[in-house]
Structure 1
Amino acid sequence: FARGGHVGLGEYPEILRIASNPEKEFAAVIWHSDVTWREEPSLGSILRGVVIPETGGDTCFASAAAAYELLPDEIKSQIDDLHAIHDFTKSIGEKFNDEERRELQEKYPPARHPVVRTHPETGERSIYTNGYHTDYIEGVSPEESEKLLALLEKAIMSPTVQFRLKWEVDTFVMWDNRSAQHAVAADFYPDERIVERVTIIGDRPF
């Protein structure tokens, strides 16, 4: 398993505890694949429910391969050969000053990945951009990058490509980060929700 970076769980650095409560609202509510900011992002993830709210807090999963297949052909041809920059600090940048952010970027340098990833085992093509970590798309204007990223996020958000998991304590779920994205339903405030995650070491996207 991969280590949880600077936020591993004590003597178990490979375990990342993800908590939402009145002081830290709605963690992981943006659609994403895990740790795409690494040069070699995780192959998959395993998540366990620890504290589950009485109502809400489901995790929604989307097939990024199905979302790609449903794109218009002209969009596919536009994005098939593009690459994007993924930055660890994109989703947490507001929590740090400029110097702290630079230090984090030195420790976890931004990574360059294809906008459309090919699954190394199935050959499927999948959307590989996300709202948490994808900073911009190379080779297009900032305005076009923003437009394309919004379009791809909208494709992932389509209910036609989704599965919704209702949690219980000690529910375990495992998924393939190479072809799936996920997000938490932000519908359980002010209840507490805690899950623990490990990620499986992967390889470089192509």
Structure 2
Amino acid sequence: MTGVLKAEDIKPKIGSRILNSKEELLSGEFSAEIRDLLEQRGVLVFPKINFNDEEQLAFTRTLGTVAKERSGEEVFPISLDPKVSSGVDYLKGAFYWHFDGTIQPMPILASLLSSKVLPPSGGNTEFANCYAAYEDLPEEEKERIKDLKVMHSTWNSLLYYEPEPNQEKLKQWIELGEKELPLVWTHTSGRKSLVLGCTAHHVVGVDHNESALILNGLREWATSEPYHYSHEWSVGDMVMWDNTGTLHRAMPYPMDSGRELHRTKLAGEEPIAA
């Protein structure tokens, strides 16, 4: 096959729609172009592509190595219904800005979500381009933060939605570990992005008040216009985002609504590095 990748920008700083057919995408012909565009745009939307699980998995494989869930699944249902998903407690953190796998040796490269069941209201997924946000910072701010390190921990995200956990739960989450990461990630491509989100506990070696102001201020900057995109789902949409340079979060929706998305992931290809 020889064809053209049909893409259109959603916003100047973030997001593109891919308008090719299911057959064209599954052929793998545009895999390299899609990967390049993903890094540039942060988020790719495939409107009403209607991939079933096998097709979504096959498409994911055209782009790289599929990352399995901790439970071994390659396709993971995202739902707050315990009969549908085994990760209900873990998914409660999805309502706050985050990267996936910050404390892992190598964060996943990308996630792909397909919409199966919509809630009656709410449930958008929001994204923020942390490449573009870094690039637009004033030079003096880049200089101020260039060498800063931040301690990240899974348990810090727990406190966002359960600020007073019992001791046993907190202990279990603390045992998941913590990791010191650069605030500015220099990628193998040479581009730089901000490493933020609800796992960020404090800036190492900085007064706790100043630390909070730094992290909060940069998150506010990165998630503001023009770096922000909110996707309003239709059944059959698939959205893919660059997990190494794009924050994301789910917007609130009725917990008993049955909202369901199916996720595949691309394995990470580089550690977070200064």
Choose which of 31, 50, 75 in structure 1 pairs with 2:97. Answer: 31
Corresponding residue number in structure 1 for 2:199? 133
Output the amino acid matched with 1:138: V
Q: Name the counterpart of 2:177.
A: 109
- How many angstroms does 1:80 deviate by? 1.0
Q: Determine if contact 2:148/2:182 at 8 Å carries over to the other structure.
A: yes
Q: Equivalent residue of 2:236, what SS?
A: coil
Query: Could you give the per-residue CA deviations for residues 61-103 of structure 1, whole angstroms, max 9, x where no partner exists?
Result: 2210111122222221111111111111112253753344333
Which amino acid in the other structure matches residue 145 of structure 1?
S
Aligned to 2:156: 90
SS at match of 1:205: coil
- 1:21-68 Cα shifts (integer Å, max 9, x gaps): 7x9897622222112122321111111222212443221222101111
- Cα–Cα, structure 1 residues 145 and 28, in superposed 2: closer, same or farther, change >3 Å? same
Give the drift of 1:14. Answer: 4.1
Aligned to 1:160, what secondary structure does the other structure show? coil
Query: CA separation in 2, counterparts of 1:63 and 1:183?
Result: 12
Residue type matched to 1:205 in 2?
A: I
Which of 69, 83, 88 does residue 4 from structure 1 map onto? 69
Corresponding residue to 2:208 among 126, 130, 142:
142
Residue identity (%): 31
For this pair of structures, how many residues does the alignment match?
A: 196
Structure 1 residues 113 and 54 mapped into 2: Cα distance closer, same or farther (>3 Å)?
Answer: same
Aligned counterpart for 1:120 among listed residues 188, 200, 219 = 188
CA deviation map 1:140-175 (0-9, x unaligned)? 111111111100110122121122322122322211
Change (3 A) 1:55 1:26: farther
Matched letter for residue 192 of structure 2: R
Q: Does 1:177 align with 2:240?
A: no
Q: Which amino acid aligns with 1:98?
A: Q
Query: Which residue of structure 2 lines up, in the alignment, with residue 204 of structure 1?
Result: 271
- Normalised to the residue count of structure 2, the TM-score between the two structures is 0.63
Larger Rg, first or second structure (1 or 2): 2
Higher relative contact order (CA 8 A, sep 6+): 1
Distance 1:86 1:26 in 2: 18
Please say if residues 51 and 192 of structure 1, whose CA atoms lie closer than 8 Å, have aligned partners that are also in contact: yes
User: Which AA in structure 2 matches 1:189?
Assistant: P
- For residue 37 of structure 1, give the secondary structure of its aligned residue in structure 2: coil
SS in 2 for 1:61: strand
- Could you tell me which runs of 5 or more consecutive residues in structure 2 were left unpaired when the two chains were aligned: 1-65, 82-87
Letter in 2 for 1:18: I
Which consecutive segments of 4 or more residues in structure 1 shift more than 4 A?
23-27
